[in-house]
Structure 1
Amino acid sequence: MQSGITVSAELQDAFARFNSDSSTFCLPVTITAETLTPLDPISFQGSPSINAFFSALPQLSSVLQPKTPVYLLLRRPSTASNALIALTYIPSNAPVRAKTLFASTRSTLTRELGTEKFASTVFATEEDEVLGQDAWRERDGEGPNAISREDMMGEKERELEAVRKAEAEARNGTPGRDIGIGGTFGPGSGSGMRVSMPVDEGAKSALRDLQDGGLVQLTVDIPTETIVLADSQSGVEANSVATHISSSSPRYSFYHYPGSDVVIFVYTCPTGSSIKERMLHASSRRNAITVAEQEGLKIEKKIEASGPDEITGDRLQEEVTPARDQGPTRGFARPRRPGRLLSKTW
């Protein structure tokens, strides 16, 4: 899973200097304007040696911040060579969006700089895992100078797990916290997270004009991080709603069920969409509902699905006229299929 972020020419040049200069201990890297960019390098305090690595570790505290992820390209002198290490530091209490971006970009960093140049990759979530000598000796395994290359499948699994955790936090975050890059948690009912994101006037107008049988679809424009109108249709039959919804990109769909006063909100997030699309849409869906309500819509029914094929006519009708044993009201729910049922109110 990749974020679409790439290595900048500035970082390529900085890494070439770092790679050839044995007196440089660390090259910090961050994400700026959709690219990986270098920060100021850190030098060894004395001549590079096996013990110099441990002596230099405290210097890294100058670039570690409690809520800010960063990549650290480290040089660890050994008896054989000056081995390079790619360390990803993602604090456990970092903003959700930053966690997702850094976790999904870490393999891009080493791949574009040259995987063969790194003897090891490390993932850390606590300062002690970066600054502590004991943590490094534990990684060494058999001896104080041994650096074992992590198993590549394990690396991928860790990357995917970090992304999944960040997405889960986007769904269940605590209101009122700063989420960092491009937005803040806003107040709202329930415990979910809402990102305050600008909404295009065309989207607002389409929501205001939604009539019986109408389908309005909104999406997030990734470059501008704005909620915009994706499509607006009238006279849509329940059985054909799925044919109008994208199977490749996330959508917020508002469907006025024909012959009723019920407006159903449908959030679809295909598994094939990019990490950034999934992250932005997951964290902004509350905002989409709030905007619709501000434009006069009453949203009582909500469905989440991984793709439009799950949004059947029967499923939509069930929201409007639920079975007797389900009671008169239903909370947020995924379409019924193995492993997809979720009873939860936003």
Structure 2
Amino acid sequence: MSHQTGIKANNELLQFFGKCRDGKVRVFKVSIENEELILAEHKNSKGTWEQDFDLCVPRMVQEKQPCYLLYRLDTKTGSNFDWVLISWSPEDSPVRQKMLYASTKATLKQEFGSSQITEELFGTSKEDVTLQGFKNHRITSKAPAPLTFREEELMELKRNESTSTEGVDARQQTLQSVAFPVSVGAKNAIVHFADGKYNYLRLRIDLEKEEIHLDDTNTITVPQLPKQVPTDAARYHIFNFKHTHEGDFMESFVFIYSMPGYNCSIKERMLYSSCKAPLLNVIENGLNVAIAKKLEIDSGDELTEEFLLEELHPKKNLHRPQFEKPKGPPNRGAKRITRPVQGDQ
């Protein structure tokens, strides 16, 4: 989900939007001043878009001061030029400024014309907003998102299961999902959470009544999140993680299933594990609350801001080594084909 500040472009900037599409303007800078989007400066084209990039863009950004740049390419979509929206948000700029620019970007795109912005670039250092940095961004944006460590483990486990063989008499048992009823109070709390009345809630299973109840609600920060995870009992948690990613302010609902190892009874571990999927079905389909990420943790210490960011927005690695199956023992000879022995007729 995204949030907007209500800051709009002033009249001068709106008029410039209409004039800058004639093919003469190469790039212009937009800043926020006095709760308005204003035109800070602009430069005309001198060569091709690649020749002009390093001559214009790095010189228009400043340290500790976020801004937007709209850069015109030489290509067209229909009769309109293609534009790149560059969101400049250096690491050393004030947090309030970062959030303000991230929350206003959607308004800028709408007022300029989202259909004409064909690419976006987010920069925190001068290297990010060079021609080479933009080309690197194009390469990584086309690469598939990598799997997280947990997802890799699950994929490898499924791969091994699919290739395993079983005897004729083998038996395989799986624990079916258990749909315990969710109390009215818990459902109401989830709806109130989605409406923004608080940013955290915790659910528990009443093992005797076999029902899911509300355990706690609160408004907390990310550093306070680990303290909400019990060390001696399993729980379900939903947290509204507010953060910025590539210049966008985002609110992501994260579902967390915490199970503190063997500090819980076998019955508790089995019930929480088997009730998770039906509970998520109630939350997402029954109450229409969109969950951005589902996590499983052993300890609250895992819930750092870096961990949540990596789970929601995993970094892309173009040179990630592929999994290689270990080689078998040397000189083991060719594989033998075994066939069942036919009984006497």
Query: For this structure pair, what is the TM-score category when the shorter chain's length is used for normalisation?
Result: 0.3 to 0.5
Length-normalised TM-score, structure 2:
0.41
- The one of the two structures with greater contact order (alpha-carbon pairs below 8 A, sep at least 6) is 2
For the pair shown, which has the larger CA radius of gyration, 1 or 2? 2
Length-normalised TM-score, structure 1:
0.40
